[in-house]
Amino acid sequence: MKFGKEFKQQKVPEWIEAYMDYNGLKRILHKIKQSKLLEEPPTPSRISQQRLSLYRPFSDLNLRSSSDDESTDDVENQVIAVETVRQDDTREVYNTNFLMSPRQSEVTFFEKLDEELNKVNTFYRDKVEEVIEEATSINKQMNALIALRIKVEQPDINKCHIQRIIATDSGSIESSNINSPSRVSLGPLDVLDRVKINNTLESPMSTIRSVLNDSKDKDLRFKKEELKEAESRMKVVFIEFYRKLHLLKHYSYVNILAFSKIMKKYEKIALRRAAMSYMKIVDDSYIGSCDEVTLLLDRVEGSFIKYFANSNRREGMKLLRPKRKKEKHRVTFFSGFFSGCSIALLIAAILLIQTRKVMSKQEHTMYMENVFPLYSLYAYIILHMLLYAGNIYFWKRCRINYPFIFGFKQGTELSYQDVFLVSSGVTVVTLSTFLLHVHMKLDSVHSIYEKYIELVPLILLILLLLIFFCPFNILYKSSRFFLIKSLFHCICAPLYKVSLADFFLADQLTSQIQAMRCLEFYICYYGMRWYQKEQKCHTMDLYNVFYIIVAIIPYWIRFLQCVRRLVEEKDWVHLINGSRYLLTIIAVVFRTVFELKMKKTWKVLALMTSIASIMFNTYWDIVVDWGLLQRKSNNLFLRDKLSVRHTSVYFVVMVLDVMLRLTWLQLILKFNLHYLKGTAISSLFSCLEIFRRGVWMFFRLENEHLNNVGKYRAFKSVPLPFSYHEEEEEEDEEDEKDD
Confidence of residue 212 (pLDDT cuts 50, 70, 90): low
pLDDT at 76: 43
Range with lowest mean pLDDT among 403-412, 447-456, 537-546, 702-711: 447-456
Three-state secondary-structure class, residue 380: helix
420: enclosing H helix or E strand: helix 416-442
As a whole number of Å, the CA-based R_g of the chain is 33
Share in percent of the chain as helix, strand, coil (round to 5): 70, 5, 25
CB 21 within 8 A of CB 713: no
Question: pLDDT tens for residues 259-316?
Answer: 999 999 988 888 878 888 888 888 988 898 889 999 999 999 999 998 888 888 888 8
When pLDDT is averaged across residues 106-120 and rounded to a whole number, the result is 89
Q: Is 411 left (phi over 0), alpha (psi -120 to 50) or beta?
A: left
**Which one, of 154, 231, 143, lies nearest residue 187 by Cα?**
143
CA pseudo-torsion sign 318, 320, 321, 325: positive
* Alpha carbon separation from 215 to 145, 270, 499, 566 (Å, rounded): 22, 67, 21, 18
The angle formed by the CA atoms of residues 334, 338 and 339, to the nearest 5 degrees, is 115
Residue-wise over 61-95: b if at least 16 C-beta within 10 A, else e?
eeeeeeeeeeeeeeeeeebbebeeeeeeeeebebe
So where are the chain's domains? 1-44+77-321, 325-476
pLDDT digits (tens, 9 = 90+) for 577-635: 999 999 999 999 998 888 887 778 888 898 999 999 999 999 999 999 999 998 888 88
Query: What does the pLDDT look like over 178-200, one tens digit per residue?
Result: 444 444 454 556 777 777 777 66
CA dihedral 332, 334, 339, 340 (to 10 degrees): 110
Looking from the CA of 229 toward its CB, the CA atoms found within 13 Å total 17
Q: Go through 357-396 and write b for each residue having 16 or more CB atoms within 10 A of its CB, e for each that does not.
A: ebeeeeebeebeeebbbbbbbbbbbbbbbbbbbbbbeebe
* CA proximity to 616, closest of 561, 647, 576, 659: 576
According to DSSP, the β-strands at 217-218 and 722-724 are: unpaired
Query: What is this structure's pTM?
Result: 0.84
pLDDT digits (tens, 9 = 90+) for 380-428: 999 999 999 999 999 999 989 899 899 888 778 899 999 999 999 999 9
> Rounded distance, CA 106 to CA 692, Å?
51
